[in-house]
Structure 1
């Protein structure tokens, strides 16, 4: 009974519920602009980070700037950040240790559901971005830096301090699903496996997700365009 009550509260968007569950074919729906609503993702590891890959899928009609994935440490609010600027620049910004670089996205990579994967390797500083399975030119950012231990990871908001100081005009509105994080740089074949075989992360894993909902965030089933087929991505 207690487990069922917790699920019903989550579906209703009630704050402060801590859960761990398989989120296959589910999304977090952020229905409105907010300076509070977010989901905190609790990592399986809390060690310092010098290699990482983050993948997620998002769907939004926002034209203003907004955060997709925010990882903060006690001394760096943008320890690792994915931030979108849809209009007028059509740009995705990647930040590591409060240093950032920008990617200009093509029009086809901003429509409807978007799959985003980003890796960073401290030893070389190389950042690799994949949008909908397409690699963008590799860039270099903050070589030699190490992200401190005990990160706080948030979706739906950008952290301007460790775990908080959110701004409504940076909040995400729309749907986010399939969030994964690894403490290594994924290969090209790994990325293909993530996109088509649902390979999960070892730091954040959507299929075994430990999270806490705050504010008005609703769990909903994933919806896809309907064709003359019984299959629907993701499977």
Structure 2
């Protein structure tokens, strides 16, 4: 097993982990293949979610689904190829027109501040025009976070026509709005920023169905290459 080097970056309030990246492969359209993340339980007045994805899908699909017991789309990242993405905040759908999809790894970050309602979207380091959500209601503290499926109820109610098929990696969550310089660092340095409420490296999760675990050594990931 290769040695994993961990660099603590104290001035920015998070960890940067120089590590072998785990990739989760969702191989087929189904309602049985998914991954449940187990973030720190707390009330979220701000949130940042960053992830990397690689997919050939030409239909709408869920990249990240956060539900509460009485709210299915509490925080949903839902691309609609070729050039649109929907961000749902407390069941309010906010649409962004984005650059057309290309077959390559894609880095997506979304932030939301309940105090101002401000929603920000970055894809591959590019920030799109900001939106403002009408909802000011915080998320949590009890939440269900699922990758690979969209939740129509708390932890379930999946529709195979909304599932994700492809590869996911570097899914991290913060309880604050991540600064732009850190988002760009994540993209440009091919490092894994460790979220303070969920960290992809070492975070707790469960896998259902035929989801496969792959490693960065065997699979090219955009500009990131193993040494």
TM-score range, shorter chain: 0.7 to 0.9
Residue correspondence of structure 1 range 183-198 to structure 2 within 5 A = 183-195=175-187, 196=189, 197-198=191-192
Q: Where do 5+ consecutive residues of structure 2 fail to align?
A: 1-17
* Displacement of 1:140: 0.4
The number of residues matched between the two structures is: 206
After superposition, the CA RMSD in angstroms is 2.0
2:111 maps to 119
What are the superposed Cα offsets for residues 3-56 of structure 1, whole Å, 9 maximum, x if unpaired? xxxxxxxxxxxxxxxxxxx9832210000000121000011x211111000000
Q: Secondary structure, in 3 states, of the residue corresponding to 1:189? A: helix
The answer to whether residue 67 in structure 2 is matched with residue 75 in structure 1 is no
Residue correspondence of structure 1 range 77-226 to structure 2 within 5 A = 77-87=72-82, 90-107=83-100, 110-195=102-187, 196=189, 197-222=191-216, 223-224=219-220
- Mapped to 1, the partners of 2:26 and 2:192 lie a distance apart of 23
* Displacement of 1:204: 1.1
Q: Secondary structure, in 3 states, of the residue corresponding to 1:232? A: coil
Contact 2:172 2:198 in 1 (8 A): yes
Q: Secondary structure, in 3 states, of the residue corresponding to 1:194? A: helix
TM-score normalised per structure 2:
0.85
- Mapped to 2, the partners of 1:188 and 1:234 lie a distance apart of 26
Q: Are residues 31 and 192 of structure 1, via their aligned partners in 2, closer, same or farther at CA, if it must alter by over 3 Å?
A: same
Q: Where do 5+ consecutive residues of structure 1 fail to align?
A: 1-21
Contact 1:78 1:96 in 2 (8 A): yes
Contact 2:89 2:135 in 1 (8 A): no
- Mapped to 2, the partners of 1:219 and 1:104 lie a distance apart of 32
Contact 1:158 1:166 in 2 (8 A): yes
1:66 maps to 61
* Displacement of 1:61: 0.3
TM-score normalised per structure 1:
0.82
- Mapped to 2, the partners of 1:220 and 1:164 lie a distance apart of 25
- Mapped to 1, the partners of 2:130 and 2:55 lie a distance apart of 26
Residue correspondence of structure 1 range 26-45 to structure 2 within 5 A = 26-43=22-39, 45=40
Contact 1:69 1:82 in 2 (8 A): yes
* Displacement of 1:84: 1.2
Which portions of structure 1, spanning 4 or more consecutive aligned residues, are displaced by more than 4 angstroms?
A: none
- Mapped to 2, the partners of 1:140 and 1:54 lie a distance apart of 17
Contact 1:23 1:206 in 2 (8 A): no
Q: Are residues 172 and 100 of structure 1, via their aligned partners in 2, closer, same or farther at CA, if it must alter by over 3 Å?
A: same
